[in-house]
Each structure stands twice: as C-alpha cells, then as structure tokens.
Structure 1
Amino acid sequence: MHTQTLQPASPGSLNDAAWLTSLVMPTPFINGLSIPGFAATARLLHPASDANGVPATWAQVANQTGRPLHPDSTWDEVSGTVHARRTVHSDWPGGEPDLGELGENGWDALLDHLTDWAGSDASCVAAIDAELPWVSGTVGFYGDPQHVEPPQGPAFPTEVLSTAPRVQLLRTCMLMTGPLTAVRSLGRTWHYRDQCWFERHGPTGLWPADRSWLVLTDIDADHTVLAGPLELIDAVTADNRLETRP
C-alpha cells in the first residue's frame, strides 16, 4: 500500500468544517457556482481526450464541433451530446472529461499556485469522499471483464478509515490534515496480475487553516471550483496548463 502523508484530522476539526458545510450545502454544485465570503471564483475544466486518447481542452472540442464555449457552458453543450433513453449521441468523437477528477497535471498546476500563495508547509484540511472505490477498496479492475484477481485494497489503512472524522460536504467525506505538499501523494496503488502502479486522485474539498481559499469538486462534476482572493484566481486563470472559466 502506498504511504499516505495525510493523517486523520482531530475530532475538533468538525467544528472547523462547519463554516464550509453552511456555505456549500444549500447550493448545488452547478456551473457559475459562487461561494459567499470569497472575492472571486473560477471553474477549472477537467480535460477531455481525442479519439487517440490525447488530452483535449474544451476549447479544442468547441472548435471541432462548431459550438460556442461560454463562461457557463456545460460539457453537453460544447460537445453536442444528447442523452436519449437508451443511447447517447455526441458530435465529439473522443472521450468525455473525467467526472470528479481534475487530473494529475491539473492538480500539479493548481498546487503550484496554492503553494506559492500559502507555502509548501502550510497546514491544510482535505475532505475526501469516503465512499469512492479508490478510497474504500473495490472488487476487480475496471475495464477488464476477465479480471479475476483479488479485490483492490483501500487507499488508507483500516484504522485511518475508521477514525477519520466524517462531515457532510457534497458527499459524506472524511477529514484529513497535513501540509499542502501531502496532497501530491493522495491516491492508491493498483495491483493487476504481476504489475502495480500508483494512481493519483484529488480530494473533494481542500482549504488552508486560515480559510483564505477553497477547492471543491464532486464525483459527478466535470469541473473543479476554486474560490479565493482575486490575485490567486487571476494567477490560476492565466496559467495555460489549466483551462478555466469564471
């Protein structure tokens, strides 16, 4: 099992998380989400992929489909995706954005900015959806119906899963804490036959002790929301490693 450097937060952290629960819970996770108490917000669009599996931006998708990309555009609008009862039609021949995952490159870029703002040793709280398969462990291996290897283990030891405090934040999340650099090691090791590799993941929520910024995503969302000071938002939206919208 990969060693996680995030550790269970103290039970007192539930009181610290109450401010966020009151801000987020009444508001659905939708396009154009604004979070009270922060000067600015931005949507970080999760990358799609072309027919060859190469990452593609929403702007590239819009250019190929001939559809406009507005600040509040949804993936279905940009890709020309229509959901019928039994079928799905899309004008985009490639893959959809990963739901709930900004991706390794996206998180690296975002964490670079958060580190510049807060410092690599800044203490942060990470809210992690406790019911995600990569967190709790799952049977089999995705994408291979013939796979009969033993179930994949959880990302965290049993004692961590059982002792980390829980909070209702978009989903039932366990609260973990550690330095900001610890988020780069979040994920779990996959085992498949005679191979194993580490797969990174992002938290559902992330914020520093001083609550100066906030990162949120959801398992059903094709974008990640960043809220914080205008200077931080401006720096992130200017980074060409990330595709952002207000």
Structure 2
Amino acid sequence: MDASGWEDDTWILHDLTVPIDLADREKGPRRRRRWRDVTDADLAATSKAKGWPPNSMYLIRDLRWPDIEINEGIFGGESLTALLDVLGGFYGPDVACLAYYGMVPANEYERLTVLEGPLSAIGSLTLNEDLFRGLSPSNWWPADRSWFVWTDYDLTATRVSGSRALIEAVRSHPRLETLDWQWPEGSRTPADRRRVRG
C-alpha cells in the first residue's frame, strides 16, 4: 500500500551486487557496487523523465559492469542496515513498529498480514528465508505514523516518507543511494486511486 501526507520523501535504490570470483558467478560471494559505478546514465534526470518510480528497468539499461544482480521487491543488505541506523538514531531501535506484507509477498490472499515488533527486528524479516521467502515487508511504520516505508514487489527502490529532518538524514547517509521522484503532475498516485475506489 502506498500512502502520502508527510513533509518529505525520497527513494532509496536497492543494493546492486557483483560476483567477487568470476569463476563462480552464480553461487560465489558477491560484493556491493554503487549504481553510479555501473552506468553512465544521469540517474536523477532519467528517473525524473519517467512516469513511474525509480527501478532498474530504466535506470541501468546500459551497464559498464557485468553480472549485476538486484532483487525486485527486496529491500535488504547494506541499504536496509543504513536506513535502520538512521531511523534508530531518530526514534530509538526499540520503537514499536508495524510491518505489513502485501498479498504477493505474503502469498496470502484471504486476509491481511501484519506483524508487530521493535524497529530492530525489521532486518530479521528480510533475512529469514522461511518467513515470506526472504522478501521484505511491503510497508513498515511506527505506531505514531511519524514515518512510513514503502517497498513494492515490482520495484528496485524503496520510498521513505517522514519529517524533513529525517529525510535529509536519509539523503546524506554515506551508505544510501537516493533519488527524489514524485508522481507526474496531474497523475493520480496509487493512494488517490484507492480512495476513489474505496
């Protein structure tokens, strides 16, 4: 579920990884590469020109680096750890949070799937292959709704919404790669469309 209404937001690009040992590209260890290191494209300009959120389908078509791997709908690795550090710095690692899994990630089409726990437990949800196939929550937020995280199953970027101070801290974090993108003027966001249907 998408939502709006916060002071500011930005998109965090999901981690890209490449094999360390080219003789074992599929199962060998991998390391993170920066998006700006694998393409000559101006990512901000390319994203701004598109009518849908930042994702690998149009951001890294022309690659300078072989064997790039990125998982759609999974917000994890260094980027997740860095975001948890930022949020924990503002609100504390034990702030109570809710984590919602959409129907596809939860593989549950009859009822909503919502978990409750501390912010510090969010990372363990994505690392657990037995729980939701290792996919990250579609949304997570604190009880007071002071911030909101949205990961879509088909995207390779995650949106974080909150106060201006929080979003500036996300943008300036050295381990996060962010892009600012808004729904094009005159278009309806998914949240708007739900309200119309609702």
Q: Normalization by structure 1: what TM-score?
A: 0.57
Change (3 A) 1:116 1:201: farther
1:227 to 161, 169, 179: 161
Q: Distance in 2 between matches of 1:201 and 1:240?
A: 25
Which residue is equivalent to 1:129?
102
CA 1:203–1:71: 2 relative to 1, 3 Å: farther
What is the aligned-residue identity percentage? 31
CA distance in 2, matches of 1:47, 1:181: 20
Amino acid in the other structure paired with 1:103: G
One-letter amino acid matched to 1:240? P
1:100 aligns with 2:73: yes
Between the aligned partners of 2:144 and 2:90, the Cα distance in structure 1 is 12
Structure 2 counterpart of 1:68: 42
- What SS does the aligned partner of 2:80 have? helix
Deviation, 1:201, is 4.6
In 1, Cα distance between equivalents of 2:77 and 2:19: 20
Corresponding residue to 2:123 among 173, 177, 184? 184
Check conservation: 1:204, 1:218, Cα contact below 8 A: yes
Shift of 1:241: 0.9
For residue 219 of structure 1, give the secondary structure of its aligned residue in structure 2.
coil
Per-residue displacement from partner, 1:110-166 (whole Å, max 9, x unpaired)?
11111111122211111023543xx56xxxxxxxxxxxxxxxxxxxxxxxx8xx961
Partners of 2:171 and 2:145 in 1: CA distance = 20
Count how many residue pairs are aligned between Structure 1 and Structure 2: 161
Residue identity in the other structure for 2:43: L
**SS at structure 1 position matched to 2:137:** coil
Aligned to 2:143: 209
Q: Distance in 1 between matches of 2:111 and 2:57?
A: 36
Residue 114 (structure 2) aligns with: 175
Match of 1:45 in 2: 13
Deviates more, 1:50-59 or 1:106-115: 50-59
Q: Distance in 2 between matches of 1:178 and 1:128?
A: 14
CA contact (8 A) 2:38 2:64 kept: no
Q: Which ranges of structure 2 fall in alignment gaps of 5 or more residues?
A: 21-29, 48-54, 181-198
Deviations 1:31-67 (Å, cap 9, x if unpaired)? xxxx5311111100012223544321211112xxx32
TM-score in terms of structure 2 length: 0.69
* Partner residue, 1:3: none
Amino acid at match of 2:31: V
Unaligned runs of 5+ in 1: 1-20, 25-34, 82-89, 137-160, 167-173, 191-198
Structure 2 residue identity aligned to 1:41: D
Note if contact 1:126-1:204 (Cα within 8 Å) is conserved in structure 2.
yes
Conserved? CA contact 1:80–1:92, under 8 Å: no
1:109 equivalent in alignment to 2:97: no
Structure 1 residue 189, shift from structure 2 partner: 4.9
The structure with more helix, counted as a fraction of residues: 2
Query: Alpha-carbon deviations, 1:178-213, whole Å to 9, x = none?
Result: 1212213214256xxxxxxxx965211001111110
Residue 76 of structure 2 contacts residue 123 of structure 2 at CA under 8 Å; is this kept in 1? no
CA distance in 1, matches of 2:45, 2:174: 17
User: If you compute each CA radius of gyration, which structure gives the higher value, 1 or 2?
Assistant: 1
Secondary structure of the corresponding residue to residue 68 of structure 2: coil
Cα pair 2:8 2:162 within 8 Å, conserved: yes
Aligned mates of 1:79, 1:185 — CA distance in 2: 29
Paired with 1:222 and 1:106, the residues of 2 have a C-alpha distance of: 12
